[in-house]
Amino acid sequence: MKKNSKSICKKACFKIDVGLSCGSDINLVLKILEESAFSQPDIFDRELTEARLMNFGNSSLDFQVLFFSKSIFRISRVKSDIRRIIYTKFLEHNITIPFPQMDVHVKSGKGLDKE
């Protein structure tokens, strides 16, 4: 008996992670993430869409948006669409995605100076 993929799973939970600059407005970011996810037509049930501040990273505030999709076999495309919407809204609100940075301190001292 051949099973129809739609009868196996009507929806599945997915996530998108993003790190943002430390000065970002957390409440605005959460709102943008949720609205961006739900604006994609394949997202199921606004009540189940949830954005969270997950962590304080080394050079970013780390967020995650959870959502359910009806299109589990097209999820790469769905996630790409949501990321584009998120990125556009971040640009509109001057919210930046930081690049990793590292400060290097060079010390001098006994045994380190060569003449």
Which CATH number applies to 11-92: 3.90.550.10, 3.30.70.100, 3.40.50.300, 3.40.50.2300?
3.30.70.100
The pLDDT assigned to 4 comes to 44
Q: What is the pTM of this model?
A: 0.77
Task: Note the pLDDT of residue 64.
Answer: 98
pLDDT at 1: 36
Name the burial class of residue 30, with classes exposed (0-12), middle (13-18) and buried (19+) by CB atoms within 10 angstroms of its CB: middle
Domain range summary for the chain, segments of one domain joined by +: 11-92
Please list the ranges in the chain whose pLDDT falls under 70.
1-10, 111-115
According to the model, what pLDDT value does residue 94 have?
95
Residue 12: the pLDDT is 86
Question: Which residue from 4, 89, 5 is spatially nearest to 40, judged by alpha carbons?
Answer: 89
